[in-house]
Structure 1
Amino acid sequence: MQVYLIMGSVNCAGKDPAALLRDAIEGGVTCFQFREKGAGALTGGAKLALAKTLQAVCQEHAIPFIVNDDVDLAIAARADGIHVGQDDESAAAIRALIGPSAIVGVSAHTVEEARQAIADGADYLGIGPIYPTGSKDDAKAPQDTRLLLELRAAGITAPLVGIGGITPDNAAAVIAAGADGVSVISAITHAPSAREAAQRLRVNR
């Protein structure tokens, strides 16, 4: 999960989602999360169809296809895993629904939330927002790299993925603070070249 791209149709700025994802993977993206939310987001059959299209791109390049929040979609698409927030069911409950081999990621904003997610069986934690971000309307206040440092100081060894306002220019600082990878949306989807943006993130992480 060194370079973890999160994307849905609403993030693509008019570009073809499958082509954008393919370019990003060829540039160095190592994990993909399908997050179809926000104004104009697809629903129902159209959402499932796009999920399967993007999943096929991931399968071509042998990288994990993760679904954001939607358990039913993850099951229907036979996704590699799911990422959930603090307002969703626990990692243990999610795993019971999607199977023991699925990847389960959980967002955490405190050391206590991180410990609980790990106890519930989370495979990795999404930590953030690190920096200010405009990609999520309900994002919490940015914490800079403080929480990453606190988590490692507290002895938490689970894989951590930093998220929120991360760019090729600040990715190295996130890794230096203890993250195993960086997760981005607009740093890749809004870049002139998704491939070049992913390459820069891979080099600078």
Structure 2
Amino acid sequence: MSELASSTDDTARLPRLLVVTDRTQAAGPLADVVAAAVDAGARAVLLRDRDLPDDERAALAAELRTVLTPVGGLLVTAGVGGDGAVHLAAAEPFPDPRPALVGRSCHSAAELLQARAEGCDWAFLSPVHPTASKPGYGPALGVEGFARLRPLGPPTYALGGVGPDDVPALLTAGAHGVAVMGPVMRDPAVVRDYLAALA
């Protein structure tokens, strides 16, 4: 296991940038895009792509681990059934037994409170800004809405239409970090801009 995932209590070790995969937006083969993002400095990746058959998804996860392991990176898998580190949708049941690290997607105060009560290690709170990647979750929160809701949950990542220029305000609003899908999938070199802003 990566040292990033060595303790469920040590949330300070959670990376500030979490890259979320979406092969439909990727600039090339997903493993190549993730490798380029890792070369640019990314150290945590959430394998989303839930529509893949289980065997294809397992093979892709193994491929991404070979990219992340040499740099001490963290691979998180979306959905119940993963091991090590998993990320749950808002309505998914909490896994038993508990994986080493567990995060949950949240879009409301009630969902953040649930994530905290369950002992989640992190939450995504979205959408911060309007984005085609996160349709159907109500109006965008904006930085003020994020700041209002964020204290209700565990360490929280801002997700949804977040660019590097948005990062300072979101950190001031209490974000642990940012989760990014579309911009990194389309141009993995932008990881450097996010990391510079997060620093």
* TM-score clears 0.5: yes
Letter in 1 for 2:110: E
In the other structure, the counterpart of 2:164 is 168
1:20 and 1:189 in contact (8 A); partners too: yes
CA distance in 2, matches of 1:123, 1:35: 18
Secondary structure, aligned partner of 2:104: strand
How many residues are aligned here? 184
Percent identity of equivalent pairs:
23
- Does the alignment pair 1:198 with 2:194? no
| Alignment partner of 2:155 out of 155, 159, 163 | 159
Could you give the per-residue CA deviations for residues 154-184 of structure 1, whole angstroms, max 9, x where no partner exists? x547311000001122222222211010111
2:43 and 2:68 in contact (8 A); partners too: no
CA distance in 1, matches of 2:54, 2:115: 29
- Output the TM-score relative to the length of structure 1: 0.81
Shift of 1:2: 0.8
CA distance in 1, matches of 2:71, 2:139: 35
- Does the alignment pair 1:45 with 2:55? yes
Q: Can you give the 5+ residue segments of structure 2 that lack an aligned partner in the other structure?
A: 1-14
Letter in 1 for 2:22: G
Shift of 1:132: 0.9
Q: How does 1:143-158 map to 2 (within 5 A)?
A: 143-151=141-149, 155-156=151-152, 158=154
Secondary structure, aligned partner of 1:10: coil
CA distance in 2, matches of 1:122, 1:81: 11
- Does the alignment pair 1:189 with 2:185? yes
Tell me: CA distance 1:150–1:60, structure 2 relative to 1, closer, same or farther (3 Å).
same
| Alignment partner of 1:142 out of 140, 143, 157 | 140
| Alignment partner of 2:121 out of 120, 123, 139 | 123
Secondary structure, aligned partner of 2:115: helix
In the other structure, the counterpart of 2:49 is 36
CA distance in 2, matches of 1:157, 1:125: 7
In the other structure, the counterpart of 1:88 is 92
Secondary structure, aligned partner of 1:60: helix
Q: Can you give the 5+ residue segments of structure 1 that lack an aligned partner in the other structure?
A: none
Secondary structure, aligned partner of 1:59: helix
Secondary structure, aligned partner of 2:76: strand
Shift of 1:22: 1.7
2:87 and 2:102 in contact (8 A); partners too: yes
Letter in 2 for 1:60: P
Secondary structure, aligned partner of 2:142: coil
Two-structure CA RMSD over aligned residues (Å)? 2.0
- Does the alignment pair 1:24 with 2:40? no
